[in-house]
Amino acid sequence: MPVNGIQVPYCTGRNIPSYEIPAGACDCHHHIYDPVRFPYRPEDVRNQPPADVACYRLLQKKLGTTRNVIVQPSAYALDNACTLDALRAMGKENTRAVVVIDNSVSDDELREMDEMGVKGLRFNLNSGGGPSKLDEIRTLAERVAPLGWSISFFMAADLVVSMEQFIRDLPCEVVIDHRGHLPADQGVNHPAFQVLCGLLRDEKIWLKLTGLYIDSEKEDFSDTIAVGKALCQVNPARCLWGTDWPHPIVFDRKKPFPNDADMLDALYEQAGSYENFKMILVDNPAKVYGF
């Protein structure tokens, strides 16, 4: 059960969610930063403050979630040591991880990570997804598909449109982060919305209803909540949710941190019913990440 009154780093407010949190609820998207023990790559000069396992456990107590998926942050690039260390610390009974790798990884390394609880790869394509990158993604997808891993994409809405067929042809489960980054000023009118709807109907993707603040132009995130609600209505059985804690984009932009309890309440609004709310928090993550 959620615990009221906890002050969680990088989270505004001490209240708990307004709705009953089902047993086995999963935060499918958060990061761990531990620069004291695991220095960032030299090119990363954003200086994200530490957000370690102990801090994250406070967030779990506040929200009442018991399962989680650690997503490798860009500050570490291909060095997954921090993410894997956090995975070991939290244990694979209730924790999974999504890593960032390239084709230099060996099959033995893939099997070792799989045994630890790694269940996915992530690609940040917002800097571009040229032919060579797509070839690499396709090859990696073929390598991890037998392990049951998914591939997650952090990508702009325009790329969702141009890569539709590529996504459909991948031999593994595909996860789209942050509602496909539909721009707030266009929302459901952006061409990517119809593409996402088609992919959801055909069960070709899983969609993360995360990071409401990333593309929003409203203080209450009503614009991105409306987009999430419209997408969820298409196929709630293919939607996921996560906190995106410790909200690195908010830190980069020097904006106030969101209240994660309110973000969980906003999921209920997007889900439209408690049945869908539970499906998104419990049933869907179990299918994607093998809980």
Give the tens place of pLDDT for each residue, 270-280. Answer: 999 999 999 99
In a domain, 16, yes or no: no
In a domain, 3, yes or no: no
In a domain, 52, yes or no: yes
In a domain, 6, yes or no: no
For the cut 80, the answer to whether the pLDDT of residue 98 exceeds it is: yes
Nearest CA among 289, 290, 269, 271 for reference residue 280: 271
Instruction: List all residues 6 or more positions away from 236 whose beta carbon is below 8 Å from its beta carbon.
Output: 271, 272, 276, 279, 280
- Give per-residue pLDDT as tens, 177-215: 999 999 988 999 999 999 999 999 999 999 999 999 999
DSSP 189-211: GSHHHHHHHHHHHTT--EEE---
Amino acid, single-letter form, for residue 73: P
Q: Name the pairing type of β-strands 239-240 and 206-208.
A: parallel
* Dihedral of alpha carbons 64, 252, 99, 266, sign: positive
Q: What percent of the chain shows pLDDT beyond 90?
A: 94
The two structure tokens encoding residue 27? 């935060």
pLDDT value, residue 130: 58
φ/ψ of 208, rounded to 5, equals -90, 120
In a domain, 131, yes or no: yes
In a domain, 141, yes or no: yes
Domain of 50 in residue numbering reads as 26-289
**How many separate domains does the chain show?**
1
Check which CATH number belongs to the domain holding 60 and give it: 3.20.20.140
In a domain, 176, yes or no: yes
As beta bridge partners, residue 207 has 176, 239
In a domain, 11, yes or no: no
For the cut 60, the answer to whether the pLDDT of residue 46 exceeds it is: yes
Instruction: List all residues 6 or more positions away from 49 whose beta carbon is below 8 Å from its beta carbon.
Output: 10, 33, 246, 251
CA angle 143, 207, 120 (to 5 degrees): 25
pLDDT value, residue 55: 97
- Give per-residue pLDDT as tens, 108-160: 999 999 999 999 999 998 755 555 689 999 999 999 999 999 999 999 999 99
For the cut 60, the answer to whether the pLDDT of residue 42 exceeds it is: yes
